Structure 1
Amino acid sequence: MHNPQRYLQHPDQIELRLLPLDKAPSDCTSLLPLGLSLKAPGPHPSGEWLRISAPALSSDFCINALVTECTHEGDHYTLKLAFLTQEQLFRARMLEQMCQITLYQRKAPAEESEKRALEWIAHQAAHFPSNGL
């Protein structure tokens, strides 16, 4: 298995919950070319499977990913995560777009929240990395 060639960079301002999985998902085949990079407070060894969620954005949105690299950098660890199915990669890409929209919305008054989301989608969504999705 080769590591992904490109990684979406998760913004530090949106907290993710990382839950180790007891066993690998049954849909394991090969790694897709687009992964996810994020900072974590603690280590997660290469080969560990994680269930990722963003409680501040959605209570029921989860993604399974494989840790391909974990490096210690000062007060945190940088994880590189890979996806093995198009569905999980699509979900990760959707989560990262939701994070970017949330950050964009925070720069304006609350009453303009929906307008800001539509603005971000109109200007940025087409340029968001997809690597063949």
Structure 2
Amino acid sequence: MIGPQRYLQHPEQIELELSPLLKAPAASSSSIPLGLLLHCHHYYPSGKWLRIQAPALTEELSIDARVVDCDRGQQGDYLLKLAFPDQEQMFRARMLEQLCQICIYQRHDPDKDLNQQALEWIEAEAAHFPSNGL
């Protein structure tokens, strides 16, 4: 299986919940050029479908992705490369990764208004966040 050309690196400070899917979602016929790269504690074989969630950030947002590769990392974990079945899932992943970056940004000054910090991050960083042509 061929994977995406580029990968978003998920920050290790935000824990993701990965759940195996019993049935593969319908995939588009076109290749999605942007994937997700993350560290995890379990091995997942290539071709396995997973549902990704970040319950600490949002209960509503979930993403379906296919395992492209899962290699043993240097610290005993696994480096997981994921591909998305369609543009919608890739867009959802970008949204989740931006939420993760905003959350990390907000931790730098916990006394400051969270909404104000989110707006600051969006103004400073959102235009530069990887999109790969979205």
* TM-score, normalized by the shorter chain, greater than 0.5: yes
Alpha-carbon distance, 1:86 to partner:
0.6
What residue is the counterpart of 1:5 in the other structure?
5
CA separation in 2, counterparts of 1:56 and 1:81? Answer: 21
**TM-score, normalised by the number of residues in structure 1:** 0.95
The answer on whether the counterparts of 2:67 and 2:80 sit within 8 Å (CA) in structure 1 is: yes
Within 5 Å, which residues of 2 pair with 1:1-133?
2-73=2-73, 74-133=75-134
Q: Is the 8 A contact 1:3 1:68 kept in 2?
A: yes
1:58-110, Cα deviation, whole Å (9 max, x unpaired): 11210000000000113210100001211000000000000000000010134
Contact 1:31/1:82, CA 8 A, preserved across alignment: no
Aligned residues: 133
Secondary structure of the corresponding residue to residue 98 of structure 2: helix
Counterpart Cα distance in 2 of 1:46 and 1:110: 43
Question: Which structure 1 residue ranges, 5 or more long, are not aligned?
Answer: none
TM-score norm. by structure 2 comes to: 0.94
Equivalent residue letter for 2:128:
H
Give the counterpart letter for 2:34 in structure 1: L
The range that moved more, 108-117 or 47-56, is: 108-117
CA distance in 1 between partners of 2:99 and 2:128 (Å): 14
Q: Does the CA-based 8 Å contact 2:68-2:82 persist in structure 1?
A: yes
CA distances 1:10-62 after superposition (whole Å, capped 9, x unpaired) = 00010000000012112343431100000001101110000000000011210
Contact 1:63 1:88 (8 Å CA) reproduced: yes
CA contact (8 A) 2:2 2:68 kept: no
Distance 1:55 1:110 in 2: 23
Output the CA distance in 2 between the equivalents of 1:60 and 1:114.
19
Could you list the structure 1 runs, at least 4 aligned residues long, displaced by more than 6 angstroms after superposition.
none
